[in-house]
Structure 1
Amino acid sequence: MPTQPEIRRFRGAEIAPWLDHVACLRIAVFRDWPYLYDGDRDDPYEREYLAAYVASPDSVLVLALDGGRVVGAATGLPLAHDPDAFSAPLRKAGLPVAQVFYFGESVLLPGYRGLGVGHTFFDEREAHVRELDRFRWTAFCSVDRDPGDPRRPPDYRSNDSFWHRRGYTRLPGMTAHLPWNEIGKGEVQHPLTFWLHDWRAGR
């Protein structure tokens, strides 16, 4: 059995020393299905994406550490501090972006899965949002893939049921489109559908 990792939470500028660790973890985990991300730590895309978390004073980074080694990470920041590609679909739907806190990645090395870290990542980020006490919604996106894609692993299980149990609802048609380098294809535009949790409605 793997060691239960230590969980630590950081905010705003405190995130800066961990950016390279998070970049390496994103590149390793997102290489797998369904993202198939062909990432490079020195790619401007990677650096610009992560820099937004340091620039936002209300951002959050939750790390899973095993003996000082980063084995998992989850991020979040006010949607108004994120690039327009994320906020545009919600603006179009008439949601007040200033009241939405956006959860970015939640990535964990395979050997540490099944220990409840995924729930802890949500618990810590949601606790951060409650402490800020000015957001009505939390949201995140998941990439849309053709279930018949031959690259889909036969044993792959989506996180949909996990997210539903956490109180999140998928919003078909509320979709962001983001480019990233896909393995074997180069830069491709990818559709990502929003999931939303309304905190006024309770859990």
Structure 2
Amino acid sequence: MAKATNITWHETQIKKEDRRRLNGHSSAVLWFTGLSGAGKSTLSVAVEQELHGRGIRTYILDGDNIRHGLNKNLGFSPEDRKENIRRIGEVSKLFVDAGVMVLTAFISPYRADRDMVRELVEDNEFVEIYVNCPLEECEQRDPKGLYKKARNGEIQNFTGIDAPYEAPEHPELVVETDKQPLEQAVGQVIRFLEEKGYIEK
């Protein structure tokens, strides 16, 4: 529920279409979701490098990075996770309006929260990319040592261990990071963006 009162939306003269025209490309949210250790951050960084090399204006919103600043007052309870994603959704919407291709790497375990972000933007401006990797593989990778801590009871509400992950039912794209090297995964994302008209071939 909104707490702010006595506020009025102030229209601007420069619109999203004007910014896109100036940038020379479309804008959208590339929403990378998946378990911790699935490769969301690694993939989003590599995809951004490829897009940047093509002259696409981009920005990455990464789960851990955002919790260092904008969302540093949030924990990992279901309520805080929901608020975390709500804020990221609103920031992502601003980037899309700015004509920027924004890549977000968040576990974002709940379908309802991801759907909430989808509703914030226009049709075809939200691309849900399910970075699919089996829990066993993610736990074996454990790049941050978080699964080990969760198994030892040092971390509570850890997705995949004692908190749920609701996999996307109809994502725009599924990338299986346990079955292909990073270069191929990047190629899969780039081909999708080309085929759907987000970027030029």
Query: TM-score w.r.t. structure 1 length?
Result: 0.29
Bigger RCO (CA 8 Å, 6+ sep): 2
Query: TM-score w.r.t. structure 2 length?
Result: 0.30
Q: Is the strand fraction higher in 1 or 2?
A: 1
Larger Rg: 2
